[in-house]
Structure 1
């Protein structure tokens, strides 16, 4: 069981830009942590810094209580699985999986027994003599996973490891991965661009943007209380609008709409005169008649079926788009509806 500690870690590139800036985080032993954020937010840079492929400009990386900041990747006792499974086509499955053990000079009998064990763990019992060309994409990814854990790593690092797989195979392997990491007691850090995947498998989620941590929280807390308007936008598909606090109300300057301070979720303390960001999430939007005076007029611009409801995007005449859901008969693009906004998140601007 190993923890991961990053202390004031920054990575500055040659052009002066920061891939990571003042990162502080603890990953607990046996915890499954997902790194998410927009493209270029620093997810992969952070993972590669933990792995040792990127040297921090400042700060330190500790694994299992040991300072690994300047230790070579191969000496960090880490297993890593990438988006492209990268199994060697000329080797059998068993030789692919056993390669890390053979490389460090372990005896053939020991390698064979450990390879058999991990192949059984990843659902490939009896596949040892087969060549990768005879396997499906999901099976080859299982081979890569088996190779990553065969040498009893202290930490498992996953870099978009499931994104190349098709559903429902991806969902099945996702479930197996969570069960495997729990069973083997692995501390796991998983980079993914898939928000739903992060929500479904992680104990905690790290939201990154511009090389900085925006929030670290369990999935339910992240949805319940996004720390910033940008997190609300990225995690919960919020529409973020500008506003001002006046006479005990939050007045939206982008809409003809206002709320009493008691009717909003003020994440930051706000006072009279403050400029604020208002994050309106899909679950806080009610739908009513298009021309009712209590509703904001909008036109449906997109419709997606989501099993128990329809996800719709509706645009106001002023050009602001809102995401919400409708659980009755299929709405049509071009249909007009009314929108009411209740209990938005409010943040101090700037």
Structure 2
């Protein structure tokens, strides 16, 4: 079994700042988990701590039930692929891939057989004699992936491994990567800054912020119920406003509008008189007449075509910007429109003990 368990894990840097704080996370064998968060959130630090390149200040790392906290990286039986493929230009593809086995002292015949197998697995059958300079960027990344899995690792770690590739190659390799990890039964931890990529490939997503876990959820759960206003802002491009609970309504003074409590998605239990954060994702915003009394007056400030619709940003007279989409006509920058907001997400105003505490998850 190649499960990963992080227990009360903290990493403190020399300047006194924390890269990770009291992390508790369980990743099951053969699960594909994606770490995501803004720059400096701790996702790469977590990956490198699992790999053994970063020594935790406190806590423990268990792989397959064994305590690996102080075990060197080369003894952890992990494969790792970085953003830059880092293949050796003077070696053939086959020698690049087989290098971990050569280092382990395996026999030539065994190495050759295993190299041929992984070449086939990553779609490079017949490329063994080629030099890296003759390959495309995507092919070189496949070489790096093959090298990572040839020694039968218990865990595959991917650090922005696809981000340097152009679409549609990136999409194709993303699909092949998921299929490969399923076929080989690999437990996979993947760091990315691409929200769409995380949602499309993960069994579960770990959202990090400030060295803390903000939420652990399946893609569906994450999109439907972000745990905090910060997560809603990061994952769903939500606009976050402040409000209060007054007489059974959520009142947003900034926009001069309110909603009955039954007409919002209250993520937390809220009580009368309490301050709240109101997260408004694009799907909660619809467009109507510019000067209708039931709509918020706004001006379109950006337009992006998205195959079946246009994604727009519109700014109100109060300076708040909202995202939404429109498909019935071609929007124009500078055009005035009306905005209607329905079913916003409502959270208790930021509470350090609640929102920045540790989050742990284990399956039943």
TM-score with structure 1 length normalisation? 1.00
Instruction: Note the C-alpha offset of 1:329.
Output: 2.0
Question: d(CA) in 2 for partners of 1:253 and 1:213?
Answer: 31
Question: d(CA) in 2 for partners of 1:291 and 1:137?
Answer: 53
Question: d(CA) in 2 for partners of 1:103 and 1:304?
Answer: 51
Question: In the TM superposition, what whole-angstrom CA distance separates every residue of 1:126-167 from its partner, at most 9, and x where no partner exists?
Answer: 100010000000000000000000000000000000000000
Counterpart of 2:79 in 1: which secondary structure? strand
Question: d(CA) in 1 for partners of 2:48 and 2:253?
Answer: 43
Instruction: Note the C-alpha offset of 1:253.
Output: 2.3
Question: In the TM superposition, what whole-angstrom CA distance separates every residue of 1:80-106 from its partner, at most 9, and x where no partner exists?
Answer: 000000000000000000000000100
Instruction: Note the C-alpha offset of 1:328.
Output: 1.6
Counterpart of 1:334 in 2: which secondary structure? coil
Question: d(CA) in 2 for partners of 1:329 and 1:287?
Answer: 11
Aligned to 1:116: 116
Mapping 1:219-298, distance limit 5 Å: 219-298=219-298
Counterpart of 2:2 in 1: which secondary structure? coil
Question: d(CA) in 2 for partners of 1:284 and 1:91?
Answer: 55
Mapping 1:133-148, distance limit 5 Å: 133-148=133-148
TM-score with structure 2 length normalisation? 0.96
Question: In the TM superposition, what whole-angstrom CA distance separates every residue of 1:2-47 from its partner, at most 9, and x where no partner exists?
Answer: 1000001000011110000000000110000000000000010000
Question: d(CA) in 2 for partners of 1:212 and 1:253?
Answer: 32
Instruction: Note the C-alpha offset of 1:286.
Output: 1.3
Question: d(CA) in 2 for partners of 1:253 and 1:195?
Answer: 31
Question: In the TM superposition, what whole-angstrom CA distance separates every residue of 1:221-270 from its partner, at most 9, and x where no partner exists?
Answer: 00000000000000000000000000110101221110011111110100
Aligned to 1:72: 72
Counterpart of 1:333 in 2: which secondary structure? coil
Aligned to 1:321: 321
Counterpart of 1:81 in 2: which secondary structure? strand
Question: d(CA) in 2 for partners of 1:258 and 1:14?
Answer: 48
Count of equivalent residues: 350
Counterpart of 2:277 in 1: which secondary structure? strand
Aligned to 1:192: 192
Aligned to 1:81: 81
Question: d(CA) in 1 for partners of 2:343 and 2:149?
Answer: 46
Question: d(CA) in 2 for partners of 1:173 and 1:312?
Answer: 30
Instruction: Give structure 1 stretches of 5+ with no counterpart.
Output: none
Instruction: Give structure 2 stretches of 5+ with no counterpart.
Output: 351-364
Counterpart of 1:116 in 2: which secondary structure? helix
Aligned to 1:347: 347
Counterpart of 1:287 in 2: which secondary structure? strand
Question: In the TM superposition, what whole-angstrom CA distance separates every residue of 1:279-314 from its partner, at most 9, and x where no partner exists?
Answer: 001001111000000000000000000011000000
Mapping 1:67-216, distance limit 5 Å: 67-216=67-216
Aligned to 2:49: 49
Question: In the TM superposition, what whole-angstrom CA distance separates every residue of 1:150-188 from its partner, at most 9, and x where no partner exists?
Answer: 000000000000000000000000000000000000000
Question: d(CA) in 1 for partners of 2:204 and 2:240?
Answer: 25
Aligned to 1:299: 299
Aligned to 2:58: 58
Question: d(CA) in 2 for partners of 1:308 and 1:31?
Answer: 33
Q: CA RMSD in A?
A: 0.5
Question: In the TM superposition, what whole-angstrom CA distance separates every residue of 1:206-227 from its partner, at most 9, and x where no partner exists?
Answer: 0000000000000000000000
